[in-house]
């Protein structure tokens, strides 16, 4: 009996010697190389202990000085064996499908036997890109192997397993297990499922909406009833995906999230083939994602009516054209700038005309979403370059790079014009942080849930330790803060602390309501049958979060901490009634 209990605890923490000796074979450069992959611990087989202090945490063995959210750690998970089996099959045959990395490297181009400088230049671009691609593939292959190994080990745990959570310095929650969790590789996410629960009429509807959301391609921006209609019009494809995922038409592979789409197709097929579909058991986590969540928080801080109404779908809109209204206006603005550059100064802007056929929602979406998190020009350029490369817009990487440079400049300029209220708050954040950093102090604040946050950015230093044998160099941060980093990071970190507060408030309320809940920052998950309840809760908690004078409290804390500094006044704000969020079907969807 005692040995069984000890074995259970050992499995819960996952500190098993066999894991440390596990070898994974990674194919690279045409040969097989062994790598020692250490798995420090596995998901827990029993519910984590409640956190009672920063040193008394979830696991029964070991100690980590971090904080966590008990509610997230108590969600029970299982492995979806059907999906995992298919992922294993695809991986054994070389990957490449459903977003899995190719197990083969790209060929390295041979150096040209030529003195043509342009030909040599093109070779250098291709050589650099091939080496970069192979390095990335190697890392991704290691990641896939680790996740699949843990998933294979956990699939036999019929009693389910748990992910203890901790938080980063901003309060954002993360599972402590690094290799298999709902934040990880998309195929690993698809192989995870909740405890089963009957669908019910509402759950059957949400499962259909979920398939449309996962399929994406613009379908996820339809009105909800149109998403249901989309799924119902593809029932033949859904049944075929379930019955013959690789031998059939492979409809599921065209989805934006292929493996998650396949898991949902399997669940819906089982339900519709049963005598009573509403009584069918569903294990699939249904996602409700914030509509450009960072801008939602800025709009709430500034009570910005224009942003709320047109971009975040905060009013009850039913027509697809309404849902795209703001996004289309932004794209039209970008195209107008490029058209003007192409007509008035084509020599200065040679890529303006070439980019006119490339600008669409997918090209600029990531940059729009990350602008409130302080995305830099180089970050925007890399995002757009990746999209151009994916669609094969230009013949070589040099052209992709220069086109992305131009498009990033135009996109960021258009963003500054259209998101005036958000920009005003971001500028205010930056000015406050600059003043604080001028005193060689880190920017600090307390989240609405009472978590103290201190930005950790300090100048690196080193300490020399001289011994009789050698001189050791110990790297450590100095007392001097990184002034620029303190300034540029404050706005995104503050917004992250707010979205973390919203998720935690929602998680606790869902737990009290008896719902299974999982969260990935601005994506909230529950059973299909409970989506309506979770939607109501998350909207109510968003309103409750901003019923507090968030910016006023922040300014007051700065003034108390630095009475000698004169901080700028708060930006002017609108009069939008935030309770409109509660009756919005597309605030999270």
**Rounded (5°) CA angle 329-331-332:** 60
98 backbone φψ class: left, alpha, beta (φ>0; ψ -120 to 50): left
DSSP reduced 3-state for 266 = helix
**Which residues neighbour 94 within 8 Å (Cβ) at sequence distance 6 or greater?**
102, 103, 104
327 contacts 311 by C-beta, under 8 angstroms: yes
Exactly one of 126, 365, 434, 485 is catalytic; name it.
365
What residues does 525 pair with on adjacent strands?
Answer: 287, 518
Helix ranges (DSSP H) in 14-158: 17-20, 70-73, 81-92, 117-154
Active site residue: 289, 305, 322, 441, which one? 289
Question: Has 485 been annotated as catalytic?
Answer: no
**Tokens, residue 544:** 């409750």
Are the C-beta atoms of 270 and 276 separated by less than 8 Å? Answer: no
**How far is Cα 531 from Cα 525, in angstroms, rounded to an integer?**
8
522 as an active site residue: the answer is yes
And the tokens for 529?
């049958």
Cβ neighbourhood burial of 52 (10 Å; 0-12, 13-18, 19+): exposed
Which phi and psi (to 5°) does residue 524 adopt? Answer: -110, 135
Please give the radius of gyration of the chain, using alpha carbons only, rounded to the nearest integer.
26
Instruction: Give kind and range of the element (H or E) at residue 445.
Output: strand 444-446
Is 575 a residue of the active site?
no
Judge contact between 265 and 242, C-beta under 8 A. yes
**Greatest distance between any 2 Cα atoms in the chain:** 83
Q: Work out whether the CA dihedral 529, 165, 585, 208 comes out positive or negative.
A: negative
Report the candidate in 500, 506, 503 with the shortest Cα–Cα distance to residue 530: 506
- Which residue among 304, 397, 499, 522 is the active-site one? 522
CB contact at 8 A, 299 and 496: no
| Cα distance between residue 243 and residue 262, in whole Å | 11
Q: Which residues are catalytic?
A: 289, 365, 522
């Amino acid at each position: 009996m005692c040995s069984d209990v000890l074995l259970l605890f050992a499995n819960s923490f996952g500190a098993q010697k066999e894991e440390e000796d596990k070898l994974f074979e990674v194919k690279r450069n045409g040969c097989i190389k062994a790598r020692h992959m250490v798995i420090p611990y596995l998901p827990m087989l029993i519910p984590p202990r409640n956190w009672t202090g920063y040193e008394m945490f979830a696991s029964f063995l070991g100690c980590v000085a971090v904080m966590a959210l008990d509610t997230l750690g108590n969600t029970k998970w299982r492995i979806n064996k059907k999906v995992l089996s298919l992922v294993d099959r695809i991986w054994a045959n070389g990957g490449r499908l459903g977003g899995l990395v190719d197990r083969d490297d790209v060929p390295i181009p041979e150096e040209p036997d030529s003195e043509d400088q342009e030909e040599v230049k093109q070779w250098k671009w291709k050589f650099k890109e091939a080496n970069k691609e192979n390095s990335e593939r190697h890392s991704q292959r290691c990641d896939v192997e680790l996740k699949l190994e843990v998933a294979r080990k956990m699939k036999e745990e019929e009693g389910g397993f748990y992910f203890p959570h901790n938080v980063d310095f901003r309060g954002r929650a993360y599972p402590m297990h690094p290799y298999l969790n709902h934040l990880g590789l998309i195929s690993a996410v698809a192989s995870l499922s909740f405890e089963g629960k009957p669908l019910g009429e509402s759950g059957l509807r949400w499962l259909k909406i979920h398939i449309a959301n996962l399929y994406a391609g613009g379908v996820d921006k339809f009105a909800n009833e149109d998403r249901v209609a989309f799924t119902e019009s593809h029932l033949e494809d859904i049944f075929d995906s379930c019955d013959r995922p690789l031998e059939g038409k492979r409809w599921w592979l065209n989805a934006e999230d292929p493996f998650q789409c396949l898991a949902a197709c399997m669940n819906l097929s089982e339900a519709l083939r049963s005598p009573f579909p509403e009584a069918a058991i569903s294990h699939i986590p249904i996602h409700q994602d914030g509509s450009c969540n960072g801008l939602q928080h800025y709009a709430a801080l500034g009570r910005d009516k224009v942003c709320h109404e047109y971009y975040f779908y905060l009013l009850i809109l039913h027509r697809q054209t309404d849902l795209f209204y703001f996004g289309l206006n932004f794209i039209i603005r970008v195209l107008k700038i490029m058209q003007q550059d192409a007509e008035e100064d084509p020599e200065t802007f040679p890529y303006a005309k070439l980019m006119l056929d490339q600008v669409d929602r997918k090209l600029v979406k990531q940059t729009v979403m990350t602008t409130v998190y302080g995305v830099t020009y180089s970050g925007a350029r890399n995002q757009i370059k990746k999209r151009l490369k994916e669609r094969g817009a230009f013949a070589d990487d040099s052209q992709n790079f220069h086109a992305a440079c131009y498009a990033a400049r135009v996109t960021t300029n258009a963003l500054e014009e259209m998101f005036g209220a958000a920009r005003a708050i971001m500028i205010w954040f930056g000015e406050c942080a600059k003043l604080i950093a001028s005193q060689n102090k880190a920017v600090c604040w307390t989240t609405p849930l009472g978590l103290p946050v201190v930005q950790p950015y300090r100048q690196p230093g080193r300490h020399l330790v001289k011994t009789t044998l050698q001189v050791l160099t110990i790297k450590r941060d100095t007392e001097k803060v990184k002034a620029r980093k303190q300034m540029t990071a404050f706005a995104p970190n503050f917004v992250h602390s707010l979205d973390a507060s919203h998720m935690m408030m929602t998680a606790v309320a869902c737990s009290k309501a008896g719902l299974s809940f999982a969260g990935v920052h601005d994506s909230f998950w529950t059973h299909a049958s409970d989506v309506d309840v979770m939607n109501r809760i998350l909207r109510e908690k968003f309103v409750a979060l901003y019923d507090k004078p968030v910016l006023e409290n922040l300014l007051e804390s700065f003034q108390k901490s630095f009475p000698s500094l004169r901080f700028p006044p708060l930006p002017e704000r609108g009069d939008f009634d935030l309770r409109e969020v509660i009756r919005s079907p597309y605030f999270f969807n």
